[in-house]
Structure 1
C-alpha cells in the first residue's frame, strides 16, 4: 500500500476538500482524485463521499490505520537517518513560489561557503504546504509569503512549535494590461475595483477571498489559474484574462510583459510579506541559514 496514497487520503479528509488538499500537497486536483480512486480500487471500497467531501464508514476506519502507519513510517525514517547519518551534511529548504528571492539565494550561498560539503535541496510548495512541511519536521526551515496588513505576521493558523520571522515587506500593485481603462491611473483603491474582472490565482496573487474580506466587495473571478509559475500568471494578466494584486516588484519588474502597468494599491493598506518558518530545534546548517537571512518586518 503506497504511503503517498495514504497521506493524500488523510489530507483530503482533514481539509474536507480535494482542491485544498491538492494545494497543500503540491499536486493538481485531478492527481488527488486519481490517487483516492486508486486507493479505493485497491481496497475495494469507497473511502470518501464526494459531495460534500467526507469519509465513509470504511474511510473512517482506513484513516485511523493510515495515520498510525504514516506516523510509524516517519519515525522509522528518522531513526534510520539518525543511526546511519548522511554521507554529507544536507540542508532542505521548503519555499513558496515567491518565497525564494535573491536575498535567500545569497544566504544559501554564504552557508555553502562556510560548509563546502553541504548539499542544498530546495523544494517549491504552495504557501500553506511550506508551513505544514516545517511543522511536520519534513523540512528544517521554510520561506513562505503572503498578503497582509503592514507589520504582519502572516496568518498561517495553528502551527504548533513553528516560529515565524519576518524577511521583509513590499507594497502591492494591480497588474493592468495594455489598453485597459485603468492604465492611466497613478494608484488604485481596491474597494472601487470590486466589480472588475479578476484572475483567481491564490497560489501567487493575493487571494480573492482575502480581498473580499478586506473590502466587502464581490471580486468576481473571470478566470482561474491553479499553477505556481509567476511568469504564466503575468502572461494571463497581460492578455486580459483578469486583474491580479501582486508584489510591486513582480508587477513592475523586468519580467512583466511589455505594455503592462503596475498600479500601486492605495487602500486598503496591504503589503506582500515574506517569512522564515522554523522550529526551535534547528540543526547546524538550518541555523546557519536562519542567521544568514536578512530580517525585516
Structure 2
C-alpha cells in the first residue's frame, strides 16, 4: 500500500501536519486550499482511514503512525531523484555549496580550507547535513558529533550516501572536549587538571541541541539521568552559546577549538573521557570540479 502512495499527497499531508493548518500548507506548497483538502481526502480514501482531525487540525492516531514513515520515505525519494540527476549532470563548474553543522562551521581548520570565492556555506542543524547532501541541496557536507576516538559518526541509510574520510577511516578532525565555565566559577581553577563528567552530573547545563551537544547525548554517554538544563538555547550560533555559559547561565560542552577564544569564559578539559568531538566530510558519489577541489583543500587544512 505504501509503495503505491502518491508522494505529492504524502508531502501535502506532512506539510499540513507540521503547520497544523490547511491554509498555511497551501501557501507553503503553492496550492489552493481546495487542492490541499482534495489531496488529504484522496490520501485518506486510499488508506481507508482518517489521517487528520479538522478542528483543530491534528494527526489522528493513524496519521501519527503514518508520519513516522513519511519523513524517511520522502527523503529517500528526494535522494533517489538527486542521485539520478548526478548521472546526467554537466561537469561541475566553479561554485560549490557546503552544508555544515554549527560546531563544524566554527572549526578554524575547516574555515581556513574554504576558498576565497565561489563557495556558499549553509550552517544548518547537524541532523540535517546528510539529508542536504543526499537530496542535492548541498554538494558537500561537514557533520559533527560526539564519538569514541576513531569511531565513525552514524549516518542515515540512504542511497549512495557515504562519509568520505579523505583516504582514511578517521574523518576530518577529532578534538578534545572542554566544559566552559564563567571565569569566577570555583571549578574554573581546574583548567590545568581537568574535570570528569562524574564531577558535573548534578550541575546545571545549557541545553543547546543545535549549537552544542544535546544533553540527552551526554546522559546516554554517561549512563545517568543527571545534567539538568538550566536554560535552553534553540539557536545555532556557537558564539552565543559560549557567551551564555561564560555569563553563568549554565555549563556547556564544547570542543577545545570552539571554547578557547570565549571572552570571560574558562575552558576546562574533560579528563578521563572516551569521547571526542568528531567532524566528518559527507559526500554523495565522487566529488568533482569545485567540490573535489574543496575536498582536497580540507584534507590539507585539517
Q: 2:168 maps to what in 1?
A: none
Secondary structure of the residue that 2:299 maps to in structure 1? coil
Distance 1:57 1:179, change over 3 A: closer
Find the aligned partners of 1:203 and 1:192 in 2 and give their Cα distance: 25
Secondary structure of the residue that 1:188 maps to in structure 2? coil
- Equivalences for residues 109-120 of structure 1 within 5 A: 109=115, 119-120=118-119
- Equivalences for residues 47-126 of structure 1 within 5 A: 89-100=94-105, 101-109=107-115, 119-126=118-125
Contact 2:109 2:301 in 1 (8 A): no
Contact 2:207 2:232 in 1 (8 A): yes
Q: TM-score, normalised by structure 2?
A: 0.70
Once the two structures are superposed, what CA deviation does each residue of 1:76-106 show, in whole Å capped at 9, x if it has no partner?
9x87xx68x7996431111111223443344
Find the aligned partners of 1:214 and 1:58 in 2 and give their Cα distance: 30
* Pair 1:151-2:150 in alignment: yes
Q: Structure 2 residue aligned with 1:294, among 269, 278, 299?
A: 299
Query: CA offset at residue 183 of structure 1?
Result: 1.6
Secondary structure of the residue that 1:293 maps to in structure 2? helix
Find the aligned partners of 1:55 and 1:89 in 2 and give their Cα distance: 49
Q: 2:287 maps to what in 1?
A: 282
Find the aligned partners of 1:55 and 1:283 in 2 and give their Cα distance: 46
Contact 1:252 1:262 in 2 (8 A): yes
Q: Structure 1 residue aligned with 2:231, among 214, 223, 227?
A: 223
Q: 1:38 maps to what in 2?
A: 24
Q: 1:235 maps to what in 2?
A: 243
Once the two structures are superposed, what CA deviation does each residue of 1:269-290 show, in whole Å capped at 9, x if it has no partner?
2211111100224332212211
Q: 2:132 maps to what in 1?
A: 133
Once the two structures are superposed, what CA deviation does each residue of 1:220-272 show, in whole Å capped at 9, x if it has no partner?
1111111100111112112222111101122122xx022x2111001322211
Distance 1:40 1:216, change over 3 A: farther
Bigger Cα Rg: 2
Secondary structure of the residue that 1:182 maps to in structure 2? helix
Distance 1:245 1:132, change over 3 A: same
Contact 1:223 1:241 in 2 (8 A): yes
Find the aligned partners of 2:243 and 2:141 in 1 and give their Cα distance: 28
Contact 2:12 2:25 in 1 (8 A): no
Distance 1:289 1:203, change over 3 A: same
* Pair 1:263-2:268 in alignment: yes
Distance 1:6 1:133, change over 3 A: farther
Distance 1:87 1:214, change over 3 A: closer
Q: 1:248 maps to what in 2?
A: 256
Distance 1:134 1:12, change over 3 A: farther
Secondary structure of the residue that 1:294 maps to in structure 2? helix
Query: CA offset at residue 57 of structure 1?
Result: 5.4
Find the aligned partners of 2:187 and 2:15 in 1 and give their Cα distance: 42
Find the aligned partners of 2:12 and 2:144 in 1 and give their Cα distance: 24
Distance 1:222 1:93, change over 3 A: same
Which blocks of at least 5 consecutive residues in structure 2 are unaligned? Answer: 1-6, 28-32, 41-49, 166-170
Query: CA offset at residue 180 of structure 1?
Result: 2.0
Secondary structure of the residue that 2:132 maps to in structure 1? helix
Q: 1:17 maps to what in 2?
A: none
Distance 1:55 1:94, change over 3 A: farther
Q: 2:30 maps to what in 1?
A: none
Farther off after superposition, 261-270 or 37-46:
37-46
